[in-house]
Structure 1
Amino acid sequence: MKNNKNAINRRHFIKRTALTGIGITIIPRRVLGKGFTAPSDKLNIAVIGGGGKGYTDAIHSWNNDKNNITAICDVDWGQSKRLMDKFPNAAKYKDFRKLFEDNNDFDAVTISTPDHTHAVIAMAAMQLGKHVYVQKPLTHNIYEARTLTNAANRYKIVSQMGNQGASGHGVKQMIKWFDAGLIGTVSEVQAWTDRPVWPQGIEPPTEKPTLLNSLDWDSWIGPAQWVDYHPSYHPFKWRGWWNFGTGALGDMGCHLMDPPYRILGLGYPTEVESSVGAIYKKLWEPENNPESCPPSSRTQLKFSATTKNKSDVTLTWTDGGLRPFHPELIPADHPIGENNSSNGVLMIGDKGIMTCGTYGRNPKVYLNNGDVLTPNDLGTNILPEHGHHTAWIEACKEGYGKEKHQALTSSFDYAGPLTETVLMGNLAIRSYMLTKPKGDNKVDYPGRKRLLWNGEQMKITNFDEANQFVKREYRAGWSL
């Protein structure tokens, strides 16, 4: 057989095998001969959300023409113009439902849209048997995360969440350190971020600017409750509104909580408690709006001991630029977490402390005897190029349940419970912000308490009003 990569295109190959009754669409290279690119060697990928992170997700999955970008769907073609210009032959859509209805010539989907649409798009794709890569956080609420986790196994598809540090060298090194017993048993974890870097704790806009010509606003709203278009929502600033985003925790929690969650083998938290920063415009009257995420927050999650870590664990999260103070074991002139300490993790054990920044950057161990360990052999290459995406692509080619799929670092079996843990913090934050009239012009805050969580039942057991934040009501015409 001659080495002619264009001799058999993928669509013709599938059609021909179906007609002959072979029923096989994936043929190993060795069957077709050396140098021949089998139709299955290039994954056909549909991109949903092509601006910002969606662009890099598409480029990393395409991986210098090792795979095909066959369709691009974005509610705002102005935001995705760069990607559409790079792949002019890709079919173009504004509504993912139209893509799924009209076009079946793809194997997998990358989903890099605002948080509130992750679940409905991923579920629709999985129901069609498409493999899915979904940006972090996996979903907008806890119920959606549990539902997608179960669905990925039910529909037997390969899944990956986009917390790329999970595939990095830094996290792998930290696992080795912990498994070797260097820091002993961990009872306390601190995680923090400088987010939000967008407006939060503000009043919703009231003016109605002209809608962008490039934007399908109805599709952008999707399952969320309707609000009129405003640049305070799109692009990017949607992160600070509960209707669409998940705040600082949703943005960074899946990156920064991943190392301790993975390394310690944590499960569902048993309880959660939060407090939030306030903005004051009048004396004694905080102006935090229930529609907007707070400007800063502090959350404490508790976990039971695991087979990997024989102690209960308290994980404290802070955002809004707040961070923990230096432990005595870490020298005063050493930054904690990132080099500028803006994001980071501390895992405090009885033999030492392990610390890192976002994506597992700058991992270090400080031992009780004064020794400091750093992975000098890693250099600056903490994240393998395209590693998180490439692992997903290769697993898609091999198929559900096979070795490469089982080795993925953020398949939904893992990413779902991690996301639930992150979003548990948001449940506590929103409960903390609940108010009720108390009389004499005073306000009661009934949710400012320690909330007890039954993970299996997805239920707060001591404050029923908090359970309204486990899931959301979808706009008419939308469902999961």
Structure 2
Amino acid sequence: MHKKTNRISRRDYLKMSLMATGALAMGGFNIACNPLRKQKLNIALIGGGGIAKTAFADCKNENVVAIADVDDITGGIGFEAFPNAKRYRDWRRMLDAHYKELDLVIVSTPDHTHFAATYAAMERGIAVHTQKPLTHNIWQARTLREAAHKFNVQTVMGNQGHNFEGMRLIKDWYDAGLVGEVLEVHAWTNRTTENNANARLEFPAQPIPETLDWNLWQGPAKERAYNKTFCPQGWRWHWDYGSGGLGDIGCHTLDIPVYVMGLGYPSAVYMDNSLDFRQEFDNKIPNVEGATYVYEFPASGNRSAVKVYWYEGGRMPKFPKEVYAEIPEMKKAIATGGCMMIGDKNTVLSPSMRPVKPKLIYNWQEIEQTPVEKTTPRPVGNPVKEIIAAVKGDIDKCGSNFDYAVPLTEIVLLGTIAIRSNKKVIYNPESMTFSDSSLNCYIKEPVRKGWEYGEGLI
């Protein structure tokens, strides 16, 4: 921890009180006796605008005590929503001032600052909700998974589709054998990874807005001059800060096959830009920077090896003829993104980035009339509701907790390494190294002085 203190936190005080009354169960914390169960949680927001808005409704039922945002304009949305919350620009000062009373921190910042903010909360014993992708590099992801166990805190990544009913339905269909053996999965998005093109451009220095602390916004990233292209919205398309279209959407859409089929780490990831069937779908041409990725996952248990294809920038897979006959509303959703799992018995089609309204292509009306048993456990709600329930002890843990979210994040990041390097990526997850040692530089990137977190944990 960057600032040591001997002050007893609210959580530790409550636990000690329980121990004094004998209410702390032997061998672990007794959920039924959780002192937070009937209390409002004390929550801090790191990032008060943008995607943070999706947490506001659930936070209003709790106690938001502080908000940190480096930008007075974007953060102003959160400041207005929670006028009684104390305001900060530097989340490090906020945590130092409030950590003893906090039960949960919600991190909604650009990708490059996810890790530092999340780790800083966890090492103070605070539960965390962090937006996707969980981290900016593989070392950060692994360190957060280890930290979750070391500091014994509840965790969740904000890939909202993981909690959708559609995700559970697809798993029910797959587990019931309706889909059969799946050898191919196709996922796509209309987002374009422009990061490689942007890396070749010069972005001249521009005046820094008075409402923005540019130094804090850069955080651990290497220092560079401000340009409005980066902030507040364009950061995702620059490797220093974001992870492109795959980083933006992959943790949503690739979550479907990873969760449903139990995919582990891929044996290889590479680019194959010869694969694109967009013109067959609607006669449109993809963006120049559009790309196609191929993931090869080895066989595991009773599951055969499977290839997962990721198309972006308007590229699309080749669909069964039944898809081309879909109603215009469905085709419009498919054009924005989706996932298709091709089995030897049926094919799952899930339009849009998240599994909002999935279906089986063949015999769908019959399947709708005689649905399979719902054997997959259902979540209590979206990831914010879920982490609140986990902290209060109403559930054991969140679905996209860091044990699950870290491998999913790594899968996404491996694809970004493939497009950045234009090399075949063969990854050893045990050693966190690549067969091509020139790629090892992508495992962990240097950080600016004062932003070192988690060193030596793994």
C-alpha distance in 1, partners of 2:89/2:337? Answer: 35
Counterpart in the other structure of 1:393:
388
Counterpart in the other structure of 2:419:
429
TM-score by length of 1: 0.79
Counterpart in the other structure of 1:476:
449
| Larger relative contact order (CA 8 Å, sep ≥ 6) | 2
Equivalent AA in structure 2 for residue 404 of structure 1: I
Secondary structure of the corresponding residue to residue 473 of structure 1: coil
Instruction: Say whether the 8 Å CA contact 1:189–1:314 is kept in structure 2.
Output: yes
In the TM superposition, 1:52-63 aligns within 5 A as: 52-57=50-55, 59-62=56-59
Instruction: Say whether the 8 Å CA contact 2:434–2:440 is kept in structure 1.
Output: yes
C-alpha distance in 2, partners of 1:28/1:465? Answer: 49
Counterpart in the other structure of 1:363:
358
Counterpart in the other structure of 2:175:
179
Counterpart in the other structure of 1:51:
49
Secondary structure of the corresponding residue to residue 66 of structure 2: strand
Percent identity of equivalent pairs: 36
Counterpart in the other structure of 1:306:
300
The C-alpha deviation readout for 1:153-175, integer Å capped at 9, x for no partner, is: 12111000000111110001111
Among 245, 268, 286, the alignment partner of 1:248 is 245
Among 207, 211, 219, the alignment partner of 1:210 is 207
Is 1:100 the equivalent of 2:95? Answer: yes
Q: Give the C-alpha shift of residue 81 in structure 1.
A: 0.8
In the TM superposition, 1:313-352 aligns within 5 A as: 313-328=306-321, 330=323, 332-333=325-326, 339-352=333-346
Change beyond 3 A, Cα 1:333–1:55 = closer
Counterpart in the other structure of 2:278:
none
In the TM superposition, 1:165-314 aligns within 5 A as: 165-196=161-192, 201-202=197-198, 203-275=200-272, 295-307=289-301, 310-314=303-307
C-alpha distance in 2, partners of 1:268/1:29? Answer: 33
How many residues get paired?
419
The C-alpha deviation readout for 1:6-32, integer Å capped at 9, x for no partner, is: xxxx97x96998699669899999999
| Structure 1, unpaired ranges of 5+ | 1-9, 278-293, 378-382, 433-446
Q: Give the C-alpha shift of residue 394 in structure 1.
A: 0.6
C-alpha distance in 1, partners of 2:259/2:37? Answer: 36
Is 1:411 the equivalent of 2:380? Answer: no
Is 1:464 the equivalent of 2:458? Answer: no
Instruction: Say whether the 8 Å CA contact 2:193–2:312 is kept in structure 1.
Output: no
Instruction: Say whether the 8 Å CA contact 1:268–1:417 is kept in structure 2.
Output: yes
Equivalent AA in structure 2 for residue 77 of structure 1: D
Q: Give the C-alpha shift of residue 222 in structure 1.
A: 0.7
Equivalent AA in structure 2 for residue 236 of structure 1: Q
Change beyond 3 A, Cα 1:71–1:181 = same
Counterpart in the other structure of 1:131:
127
Q: Give the C-alpha shift of residue 372 in structure 1.
A: 6.8
Q: Give the C-alpha shift of residue 305 in structure 1.
A: 2.0
Counterpart in the other structure of 1:453:
427
Secondary structure of the corresponding residue to residue 264 of structure 2: coil
Equivalent AA in structure 2 for residue 89 of structure 1: N
Secondary structure of the corresponding residue to residue 395 of structure 2: helix
C-alpha distance in 2, partners of 1:71/1:329? Answer: 52
Q: Give the C-alpha shift of residue 451 in structure 1.
A: 2.7
Q: Give the C-alpha shift of residue 265 in structure 1.
A: 0.4
Instruction: Say whether the 8 Å CA contact 1:355–1:363 is kept in structure 2.
Output: yes
TM-score by length of 2: 0.83
Among 66, 70, 74, the alignment partner of 2:69 is 74
Change beyond 3 A, Cα 1:96–1:296 = same
Change beyond 3 A, Cα 1:23–1:89 = farther
Instruction: Say whether the 8 Å CA contact 1:158–1:405 is kept in structure 2.
Output: no
Q: Give the C-alpha shift of residue 362 in structure 1.
A: 2.0
Q: Which structure has more helix as a fraction of its residues?
A: 2
Instruction: Say whether the 8 Å CA contact 2:193–2:237 is kept in structure 1.
Output: no
Instruction: Say whether the 8 Å CA contact 1:17–1:24 is kept in structure 2.
Output: no
Question: Mean alpha-carbon deviation: is it higher for 100-109 or for 225-234?
Answer: 100-109
Instruction: Say whether the 8 Å CA contact 2:106–2:129 is kept in structure 1.
Output: yes
Q: Give the C-alpha shift of residue 469 in structure 1.
A: 1.3
RMSD (CA atoms): 3.4
| Structure 2, unpaired ranges of 5+ | 1-8, 275-287, 372-377, 454-458
C-alpha distance in 1, partners of 2:32/2:246? Answer: 47
The C-alpha deviation readout for 1:89-137, integer Å capped at 9, x for no partner, is: 1111111111121222211100000000101111111100000000000
Counterpart in the other structure of 1:89:
84
Secondary structure of the corresponding residue to residue 74 of structure 2: coil
Is 1:143 the equivalent of 2:116? Answer: no
Secondary structure of the corresponding residue to residue 314 of structure 1: strand
Counterpart in the other structure of 2:4:
none
Instruction: Say whether the 8 Å CA contact 2:157–2:383 is kept in structure 1.
Output: no
Secondary structure of the corresponding residue to residue 316 of structure 1: strand
The C-alpha deviation readout for 1:206-260, integer Å capped at 9, x for no partner, is: 3322111111111110111111111100011000000000000000000000011
Counterpart in the other structure of 1:122:
118
Change beyond 3 A, Cα 1:384–1:396 = closer
Secondary structure of the corresponding residue to residue 64 of structure 2: strand
Q: Which structure has the larger Rg over C-alpha atoms?
A: 1
The C-alpha deviation readout for 1:406-437, integer Å capped at 9, x for no partner, is: 3x2200010100010011100111111xxxxx
Instruction: Say whether the 8 Å CA contact 1:205–1:230 is kept in structure 2.
Output: no
Secondary structure of the corresponding residue to residue 335 of structure 2: coil
Equivalent AA in structure 2 for residue 221 of structure 1: Q
Change beyond 3 A, Cα 1:38–1:225 = closer
C-alpha distance in 1, partners of 2:46/2:22? Answer: 29
Instruction: Say whether the 8 Å CA contact 2:196–2:420 is kept in structure 1.
Output: no
